[in-house]
């Protein structure tokens, strides 16, 4: 049977994710939902009309949903559900400023996902990411491997892009890594960064690497400040769509994602940005990568910061 993926929230992030997923042409159906009546149906109609031009057969279905599960029949049988519902940041806001309002939205969405797509793998993107991922797991009561969050694929892509631009090399020759949280305690891992296999530290002075690390950490805010309304969505949607594809195809690809950590790196019981092998079961396993002592200390610090915030989400 063909694969089915649902994107909840038809805003900038959700609609571009649906477009990318449809254009991959590997799913039978992409469902796009929103609470704004007619918006997901209109976008689906528009996307379907691009099929002859872009040459894909995937069918996009739009569905308006209500707070009591109205319209959620459309997501039945989904293999993957990407949750993008929720407010984005405004200039000057931190991701944590969205906690209260987005928690209500994500909880309500997650409860309906559990009811209508009980076998799906859930990829959360709503912010604050680490907290919303933990909340979605609690609200769905799905096994922890079946709920994960998107942050590291995006943060890593930003870091890679900055390094490639700085050195004037193709992005494909650059490999970077960020772990930790999607926020202030993001942990870029320069020791794992290479350009054509050469350590980044041999190509750029430490201060320049630090400057790119800082720009990566503030990568989302830099876009928000320029846009003035709304937040980034081209790179974020690419990240979530690739994860959904890896899961649907049971590919075993290893990506940095927000996953439940249970003993790896000496850290337990928290959703945290780590490398993970993705497949049909969601996170097949967390993959430990060699870290310097300083990087490991930063990762542990990030884990404790996120743990403190995630402890409260059950009550939201």
Ligand X SMILES: NC(=O)c1ccc[n+]([C@@H]2O[C@H](COP(=O)([O-])OP(=O)(O)OC[C@H]3O[C@@H](n4cnc5c(N)ncnc54)[C@H](O)[C@@H]3O)[C@@H](O)[C@H]2O)c1
Output 200 or 219, the one with its CB closest to ligand X: 219
> Is 224 assigned a catalytic role?
no
| Rounded CA separation 310/267 (Å) | 15
When binding is defined by CB under 6 A, the residue of 232, 275, 278, 286 that contacts ligand X is 232
Collapsing DSSP to helix, strand or coil, 27 comes out as: coil
Residue 175 to residues 180, 197, 238, Cα–Cα distance (Å): 17, 8, 17
When binding is defined by CB under 6 A, the residue of 18, 63, 75, 125 that contacts ligand X is 125
Query: Which residues contribute to the annotated binding site for substrate?
Result: 89, 95, 127, 158
- Non-local (6+) Cβ contacts of 168 within 8 A are none
Output 258 or 267, the one with its CB closest to ligand X: 258
Token pair, residue 57, equals 């057969």
| Sequence-ordered alpha helix ranges (H) in 147-197 | 152-167
When binding is defined by CB under 6 A, the residue of 4, 5, 7, 10 that contacts ligand X is 10
Of 81-89, 172-180, 209-217, 245-253, the segment contacting ligand X by CB under 6 A is: 81-89
When binding is defined by CB under 6 A, the residue of 4, 5, 7, 11 that contacts ligand X is 11
Site for ligand X in 82-121 (CB under 6 A): 84-89, 98, 102, 105, 108-109
Write down the residue that tokens 């709920």 correspond to: 147
* Site track for ligand X across 23-42, x = CB under 6 A: ----------xxxx------
Residue whose Cβ sits closest to ligand X: 11
Site for ligand X in 168-227 (CB under 6 A): 182
Whether residue 279 contacts residue 247, with contact meaning beta carbons closer than 8 Å, is answered with: yes
| Sequence-ordered alpha helix ranges (H) in 218-268 | 219-227, 234-248
3-state helix, strand, coil in the chain (%, to 5): 50, 20, 30
Instruction: Indicate which residue of 4, 39, 146, 182 is catalytic.
Output: 182
Residue 67: other Cβ atoms inside 10 A: 11
- State the Cα torsion 22-24-26-31 to the nearest 10°: -20
User: For the purposes of burial, counting CB atoms within 10 Å of the CB of 215, is it exposed (0-12), middle (13-18) or buried (19 or more)?
Assistant: middle
When binding is defined by CB under 6 A, the residue of 7, 14, 260, 305 that contacts ligand X is 14
Least separation in angstroms between CB 213 and ligand X = 17
Output 130 or 264, the one with its CB closest to ligand X: 130
Applying CB under 6 A, the residues found at the interface with ligand X are 8-14, 33-36, 65, 84-89, 98, 102, 105, 108-109, 125-127, 129, 150-151, 154, 182, 230-233, 236
Which residues are known catalytic residues? 182
């Amino acid at each position: 049977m063909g694969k089915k993926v649902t994107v909840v929230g038809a805003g900038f992030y959700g609609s571009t994710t649906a477009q990318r997923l449809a254009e991959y042409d590997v799913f039978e159906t992409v469902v796009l939902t929103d609470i704004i009546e007619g918006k997901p149906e209109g976008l689906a109609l528009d996307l379907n009309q691009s099929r002859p031009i872009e040459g894909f057969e995937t069918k996009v279905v739009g569905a308006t949903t209500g707070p009591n599960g109205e319209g959620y029949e459309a997501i039945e049988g989904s293999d993957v559900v990407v949750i993008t519902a929720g407010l984005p940041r405004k200039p000057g806001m931190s991701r944590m400023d969205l906690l209260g309002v987005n928690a209500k939205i994500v909880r309500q969405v997650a409860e309906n996902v559990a009811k209508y797509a009980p076998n799906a793998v859930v990829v959360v993107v709503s912010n604050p990411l680490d907290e919303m991922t933990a909340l979605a797991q609690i609200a769905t009561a799905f096994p922890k491997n079946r709920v994960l969050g998107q942050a590291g694929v995006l943060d890593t892509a930003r870091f890679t892009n900055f390094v490639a631009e700085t050195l004037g090399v193709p992005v494909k020759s650059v490999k970077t890594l960020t772990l930790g949280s999607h926020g202030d305690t993001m942990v870029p891992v320069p020791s794992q960064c290479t350009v054509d296999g050469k350590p980044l530290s041999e190509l750029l002075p430490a201060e320049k690497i630090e400057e790119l690390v800082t720009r990566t950490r503030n990568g989302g805010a830099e876009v928000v400040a320029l846009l003035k309304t709304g937040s980034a969505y081209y790179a974020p949607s690419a990240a979530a769509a690739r994860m959904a594809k890896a899961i649907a195809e049971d590919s075993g690809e290893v990506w940095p994602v927000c996953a439940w950590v249970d003993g790896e790196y000496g850290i337990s019981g928290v959703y945290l940005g780590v490398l993970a092998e993705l497949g049909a079961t969601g996170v097949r396993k967390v993959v430990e990568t060699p870290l310097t002592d300083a990087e490991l200390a930063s990762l542990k610090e990030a884990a404790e910061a996120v743990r403190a915030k995630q402890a409260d989400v059950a009550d939201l």
